[in-house]
Structure 1
Amino acid sequence: MSATDRHALVFGATGLIGRHLVLALGQAGVRVSTANRSRQSHQRLVRWLADHGHHQAPADLRVDFTQPEPLSGRAADWADVTEIHNCAGAYRFGMSGADARRANVDSARAVVALAARLPRLRRVVHVSGYRVGGQDPALVPWSDEHRRRTYAELGAYEASKAEADAVFQAAADQAGLPWTIVNPASVIGDSATGESDQQLGLAASLRDLWRGALPALPGDERTFVPVVAVDHLARFMAVLPLDEATERAAYWVLDDATPALPELLTLVARHYQVRVPRLRVPVSLVRRLPQWVTRTDPETLTFLSADRYPTGPATAVATRHGLAMPDTTTTVLRWADHLAAYRFGEVPAGRRRFTAPADVRTFELGAADAPTVVLPGPPGNADTWAPVAGALGQARVVDLPGLGLSRGRRADWPAWSTALVTETGARHLVGHGGAAALAVRAALAHPDLVDQLTLVSPFAPGTRVGRAARWTPLVRWRLARVSAEALARQLTGDPALAETVASSAADLRRGRVAATAARLVADAGGRRWRHQLWAGLQRYPGRVHVIVGADDPLGPAERQLLETLPRATVTAIAGAGHHPHLTHPAEVAAAIGGAPVDTPHPPRGASPAPAYRR
């Protein structure tokens, strides 16, 4: 059967597995229809597919499993369907048994009933699970006692998936349908990008690692929580209807080489450069501890097992179709980076990534390779500049080494800032506060490459910061404990802006971020730092644009300095203070974007004093 003869109907197409499956089918030239609960969910899927390079939208069919006829619309829209992929269901813990059965068991039964009415159907593919696959369909319907015991032992989610596995086989056999079951392991991110929006299960452990909230490593060298990259799983599912040998078979899709759970978590912790928990707790003890100690949903504990799974048949299918399992270690680390970059689901969208100028793992957001690069001054981070970057369009914001989400340390700054210019194409450096001097130094190192410097509130720290604020231990102690409300009050005077700086407050509690920020704040308040900034500006031959808040104006000495620079411009943001990007992001973006950056450098002395704009 060629791709042009195939018409795939996908249930659960907007979920993690479903949308990657639609992408894989579409890339293979298969005609795809998706069963969606609403027009809005279909539109979200279409946008996601377009963002991933696939612009042929699947047909939108409406589904409602609570109705006797779950698929609405014209029969002609789905009468020629040749294959159904059932990725529908609910993956969450804490459901009641009734809710879990409606979401997972009843939906599987409804999909089979619909499939039985399709005259051209050649295969139904059902997604089950690696811990629940292989159920005996002869036991269907389950007795009340068997159901009660299973749901009590496994929890509602896993038990409903086990029951659905059995119900699907029994119903499909009764209807005479050709079926295949896929039992995936813990599905993690795309093998190339790490992309995933799934925050349950293993992802929650990575989140705790990142935040320093994982007190111990669960399990031992035999504790096996296998994983599979979502794109590999999708490609595997897409070839099943082509292979007659896969009819009435179940396949465990996972990597047998997945490290044991403590080893996997240690690998990620070292990649994150966070503390590796020294304590290891046996699974038997974890299961006896109260939930307030483990901070783990009891339903997840059944996944902590030494069991192994029959992966040989899936490996044979993959080999027949030229599908190679992606390297698991690489995929896990890319997935870990994606989770951290999107703050474990707190930031659901946007252009966010980790890069490595000078081999320093660096977080940045905004347009990749944009020539305008913002360097946030502490205690801020890249996220506090996201509205400015969004308004600018062709701009990116990078966290300095050791600050925000970037790793590294202050000793990396010289090589890192040089690489930012020479390796990533930064041509317009925007430095805020304490980062202004770093921007100046980077521009001076390559004045032929950096066309413009924009310095946002670069002088005030040197003239306004008191002696207490320059004592590093005290500043570090305060920053490591500051709440979002207190930080907003400190930076803007308005605690209502707490949400704007919440990510900064969270970052300051992680690792040595507060210590690095405190050191930079202290340095920026000293005379030496200020004199280096001034001397650097006098030597830089390009354009200099200084942006300040009108409520935090330049002092006489700063005005006098700028008047000596032939190509300096000053913009004052009305109503703003030392952090105008927090209170007036649109005005700051307009000021940054309003200055040209592509004209050649005129000789010194070609322009008089700086121009002032308000």
Structure 2
Amino acid sequence: MSVVEDRHALVLGATGFLGRHLVLALGRAGVRVSTASRSHESYRRLARWLAEQGHGHETAPADLRVDFAEPSLIQGECDDVTEIYNCAGAYRFGMSADDAHRANVDSVRAVVAFAAQLPRLRRLVHVSGYRVGGQDPALWSDERRAAAYRALGPYEASKAEADAVFQVVADELGVPWSIVSPASVIGDSVTGESDQYLGLASSVKDLWRGSLPALPGNASTFVPVVAADYLARFMSLLPLDDAAERASYWLLDDDTPPLPDLLTLIAEHYRITAPRVRIPVSLVKRLPRRLTKADPETLTFLSSDRYPTASAHAFAARHGLTMPDAVTTIRRWADHLAAHRFGDAPADDRRFTTPGGIRTFELGDAAAPTVVMPGLPVNADTWAPVVTAMGGARAVDLPGLGMSGGHRDDWPTWLSALITETGARHLVGHSIGAAAAVEAAAAHPGAVERLTLVAPYFLQARPAPTIQWAPLTRGYLSHVSPEALAKRLTGTTEHASALRSSVADLRRGTVAANVSRLLAAAAKPRWREDLRAELRHYPGRVHVIVGSHDPLTPDGRALLDALPHATVTVVEGAGHQLQLTHPEEVAKAIASVSIAP
């Protein structure tokens, strides 16, 4: 029997970020895996995630229950377990000392005691932390515990105590062990995927939203990172290496840029301006929390310390494990964080692309030929229910709008690339997006097979004159609440939750200014006439969808009646923002003429 066939891994904390990557790495290595979670629903979420990564049902891990309050710890068969990975514990700031001790120290004692009972165990792998790893093996006195918890905060102190207690108890009970002390675990090196939003990710969030007033630290401030998949693969190899028994490894990328440079790197990738002011760590630690907006426990991580990584590098070299490029991983992680709105939009099929070199947010089926371009002042997220209902479609934010970079002058290049590079053949344009769709079809009439124009403003009544004063509109949009915007767009606050992401976008960077300028431009007679002329010459099929409360003008209807391949659908009871008020009807209308891949 081979070593792999003989391996049976038990993963505690398997439903967490690191835990699920570890389960995936073990599974891909051919190791039989059991996972211990607190509920079957947690296991089901893990199984769904594994399936999305191509880890099929036939290789799904066994589902066991864990209860750290019970002496037995695990409910399920574990006698043939050969290795245990302890990824459990609490990664949370603001805990009480008792809660932190119970979650991170008492749980370690329970895991080691359980491991000591297993007859075939070869290795117990414990996850510590780069700031607390390498503790002397000793049980802490009450005095030492109290002092450490005051100085470091309950989270970091409990992890330091757990590191020490783990070694002592494991040696006392004769349990073979290894420790990994990872740095900030960021996204998968290939996909950037991450659902950890504490620590460094919170600074990236502030940077994205434009609420980071200054860059903390200087050229020596080192907040290292490590890719989740690299860490998981490293851990999965530890039981195979006898030299790793009773060894601790610091897992981090020594090439992580200093913190201010790291944040500047991400700002450049986001194509936004990083704060020019740098604030010393010593001053950050003295400022009140209301100014730093940082939990005091996180400030100890702002350090110039370096860490002993030589043994980890040697281990990786022995096993042919190569650390992924730090800058590439950081950029992919930053993309994933922003695309998923830092946890506010956890659904899959969200990404940034670069048609024509323009950073573009997109949701839905990446290969779909049907592409939705939203109107103003909303974003692609408002079309997510329609795209989901349709299937085989995607929605993109126009340049300079929503979460996309660029501006109006980028439209020709961007639209051309959308068609020629991404395979867009059925353009669905809403309001200002209808203008973009018509301009794209005029430039590429042979490639755009069909146009669906939803509330095409240039075939409808002109807006109120006040919309043409861009500064007034910009001021309003920069401060509007979701409730107020919903009331203005739909006549009710019922759709406020669907507009929260649009409001967040309007408060970021130049988005509100871009929207206000486009709204003003859309009211100009010349552009409206140009769009009508281009539509008259388009040879393909045209489908127009409008709400009964936002009808076509008589001359707009006459233009469509004169086209040989034009149809009109009227959604009863709808206004200009049909995707918000009548998503199912809109999806059905669009899908009736959608194009198969």
Normalising by the smaller structure, the TM-score range is: over 0.9
* Residue 362 (structure 2) aligns with: 364
The offset of 1:275, in angstroms, is 2.5
* Residue 100 (structure 2) aligns with: 100
* Residue 6 (structure 2) aligns with: 5
Counterpart pick for 1:256 among 246, 254, 257? 254
* Residue 607 (structure 1) aligns with: none
SS at match of 2:210: coil
The offset of 1:521, in angstroms, is 1.1
CA contact (8 A) 1:461 1:524 kept: no
**Range that drifts further, 270-279 or 329-338:** 270-279
Amino acid at match of 1:44: R
State yes or no: 1:113 paired with 2:113. yes
* Residue 122 (structure 2) aligns with: 122
Distance 1:291 1:312 in 2: 37
CA contact (8 A) 1:443 1:450 kept: yes
SS at match of 2:114: helix
Distance 2:519 2:411 in 1: 15
Question: Could you state the TM-score of these two structures normalised by the residue count of structure 2?
Answer: 0.98
Q: 1:297 to 1:567 in 2, by over 3 A?
A: same
Q: 1:189 to 1:596 in 2, by over 3 A?
A: closer
Counterpart pick for 1:159 among 157, 160, 169? 157
Distance 2:340 2:441 in 1: 30
CA contact (8 A) 1:354 1:362 kept: yes
Question: Which structure 2 residues correspond to residues 407-556 of structure 1 after superposition, within 5 A?
Answer: 407-459=405-457, 463-556=461-554
The number of residue pairs the alignment matches comes to: 594
Amino acid at match of 1:486: A
Distance 1:362 1:4 in 2: 46
* Residue 69 (structure 2) aligns with: 66
CA contact (8 A) 2:383 2:395 kept: yes
CA contact (8 A) 2:83 2:121 kept: yes
Deviations 1:486-525 (A, max 9, x none): 1111111112211111111110111111111111111112
Amino acid at match of 2:46: L
CA contact (8 A) 2:459 2:553 kept: no
Question: Which structure 2 residues correspond to residues 64-213 of structure 1 after superposition, within 5 A?
Answer: 64-73=67-76, 77-137=77-137, 139-140=138-139, 142-213=140-211
Distance 1:488 1:80 in 2: 59
SS at match of 1:41: helix
* Residue 296 (structure 2) aligns with: 298
The offset of 1:461, in angstroms, is 8.0
State yes or no: 1:231 paired with 2:232. no
* Residue 378 (structure 1) aligns with: 376
* Residue 333 (structure 1) aligns with: 331
Amino acid at match of 1:42: Y
Distance 1:5 1:243 in 2: 15
Amino acid at match of 1:244: D
SS at match of 1:62: strand
State yes or no: 1:21 paired with 2:22. yes
SS at match of 1:224: coil
CA contact (8 A) 1:437 1:532 kept: no
Counterpart pick for 2:398 among 390, 397, 400? 400
CA contact (8 A) 1:462 1:526 kept: no
Amino acid at match of 2:82: T
* Residue 605 (structure 1) aligns with: none
The offset of 1:244, in angstroms, is 0.6
Structure 1: stretches of 5+ with no match in the other structure: 600-614
Structure 2: stretches of 5+ with no match in the other structure: none
Distance 1:206 1:598 in 2: 39
The offset of 1:312, in angstroms, is 0.3
Amino acid at match of 1:65: F
The offset of 1:598, in angstroms, is 7.0
Runs ≥4 residues deviating over 3 A: 596-599
Amino acid at match of 2:30: G
* Residue 344 (structure 2) aligns with: 346
SS at match of 1:150: helix
Deviations 1:294-338 (A, max 9, x none): 110000001011110000000000011111111001100110010
CA contact (8 A) 2:218 2:259 kept: yes
The offset of 1:597, in angstroms, is 4.0
CA contact (8 A) 1:190 1:196 kept: yes
Deviations 1:132-157 (A, max 9, x none): 011111x31x1111000000000010
Amino acid at match of 1:521: L
Amino acid at match of 2:29: A
The offset of 1:9, in angstroms, is 0.3
The offset of 1:451, in angstroms, is 1.1
Deviations 1:352-386 (A, max 9, x none): 00111111111100011101000001211000000
SS at match of 2:9: strand
Deviations 1:235-259 (A, max 9, x none): 0001010011100000001011111
CA contact (8 A) 2:458 2:528 kept: no
SS at match of 1:465: coil
The offset of 1:459, in angstroms, is 2.8
Amino acid at match of 1:199: Y
The offset of 1:473, in angstroms, is 1.8
CA contact (8 A) 2:23 2:33 kept: yes
Amino acid at match of 2:400: G
Distance 1:510 1:593 in 2: 33
**Range that drifts further, 42-51 or 342-351:** 342-351
Question: Which structure 2 residues correspond to residues 582-601 of structure 1 after superposition, within 5 A?
Answer: 582-595=580-593, 597=595
Q: 1:597 to 1:173 in 2, by over 3 A?
A: closer
CA contact (8 A) 1:549 1:573 kept: yes
Distance 1:279 1:116 in 2: 54
CA contact (8 A) 1:460 1:578 kept: no
RMSD value, Cα: 1.2
Distance 1:271 1:32 in 2: 38
Distance 2:30 2:540 in 1: 52
Amino acid at match of 2:5: T
CA contact (8 A) 1:126 1:181 kept: yes
